[in-house]
Structure 1
Amino acid sequence: MHLSNYLFFTTTCEQALDFYTTCGLGEMTEVLRYGIDGMPLPNDTMRGRIMHAKFEGPGILFFASDNDDAEPMRGSAHILQMNDRNRTEQLFDQLAKDGKVTTPLATQPWGDYFGKLTDQFGVQWMLNCSV
């Protein structure tokens, strides 16, 4: 058994996954689009948008899609367990661009370097560096 997260966007899935690729998290390794190659089309505004995508990178695996009836993201976060403080700071700053930092990166009472943010697409991220 393996648990993976599935992110639902309304119409910005491709932009979000491109952003995560730019941040160095990985890349889309599979993609199906609404209304293309026999995939269903719920309505014309969804044509060409992402029906299902797999996103992978070193230690990263999640899925995502556009859904015009998607609920806003809340109550869940991706947590990245990091082992390089400089990379943690770099990635935190990249993910925070045009987003909102809710816990600035700092050494926490448990001894780890930790921060939390919501990115520009509404996805919550927690970065925890134990070094």
Structure 2
Amino acid sequence: MQLANYLFFTTQCEDALAFYTECGLGRITTLMRHGDHGIPIASEAMKGKVMHARFEGPELLFFASDNHDAEPMRGSSHILIMADRHSTDGLFVKLAAGGNVTTPLAMQPWGRYYGKLTDQFGVQWMLDFLP
């Protein structure tokens, strides 16, 4: 058994996945679009949008799609357990671009170097490193 997250966007899935690729998290390994190969579409606005995508990187896997009835993301966050402080700092800056930092990266009372943000696509991320 393996747990993997599934991110729902309304129309920005492809842009979000391109952003995550640019951040160095991984790459799209599967991409299907609404309307391709007889896949039904809920509306013309959804035609060509991402119906299903698989995104993979080292020790990272999630799925994503555009849905006409997607709700804003809340109540869940990706936590990335990082290998070193330098990569933690760099990735945090990249993911925060255009987003909102809710907990700046810093040594926390519980002894971890940790920060939390919501990226420009509404996805929450926590980065965690044990010095």
CA apart distance, 1:43 = 1.1
Q: One-letter code of the match for 1:101?
A: V
What's the secondary structure of 2:37's corresponding residue? coil
Name the CA distance, whole Å, in 2 between partners of 1:54 and 1:40. 19
CA apart distance, 1:73 = 0.3
What's the secondary structure of 1:17's corresponding residue? helix
Alignment match, 1:25: 25
**Length-normalised TM-score, structure 1:** 0.98
Q: How does 1:3-14 map to 2 (within 5 A)?
A: 3-14=3-14
CA apart distance, 1:33 = 0.2
CA apart distance, 1:42 = 1.4
CA apart distance, 1:55 = 0.2
Alignment match, 1:45: 45
Alignment match, 2:78: 78
Alignment match, 1:109: 109
Alignment match, 1:89: 89
What's the secondary structure of 1:37's corresponding residue? helix
**Length-normalised TM-score, structure 2:** 0.98
Alignment match, 2:59: 59
CA apart distance, 1:110 = 1.4
What's the secondary structure of 1:72's corresponding residue? coil
Alignment match, 2:15: 15
What's the secondary structure of 2:38's corresponding residue? coil
Q: CA RMSD in A?
A: 0.6
Q: What are the Cα deviations for residues 50-81 of structure 1, in whole angstroms up to 9, with x where unaligned?
A: 00000000011000000011010000000000
Alignment match, 1:118: 118
CA apart distance, 1:36 = 1.1
% identical equivalent positions: 65
Could you tell me whether the CA contact under 8 Å between 2:23 and 2:91 is conserved in 1?
Answer: yes
CA apart distance, 1:5 = 0.3
CA apart distance, 1:120 = 0.2
Q: One-letter code of the match for 1:78?
A: H
Name the CA distance, whole Å, in 2 between partners of 1:31 and 1:75. 26
Structure 1 portions without partners, runs of 5+: none
What's the secondary structure of 1:79's corresponding residue? strand
Alignment match, 1:127: 127
Q: One-letter code of the match for 1:111?
A: G
What's the secondary structure of 1:15's corresponding residue? helix
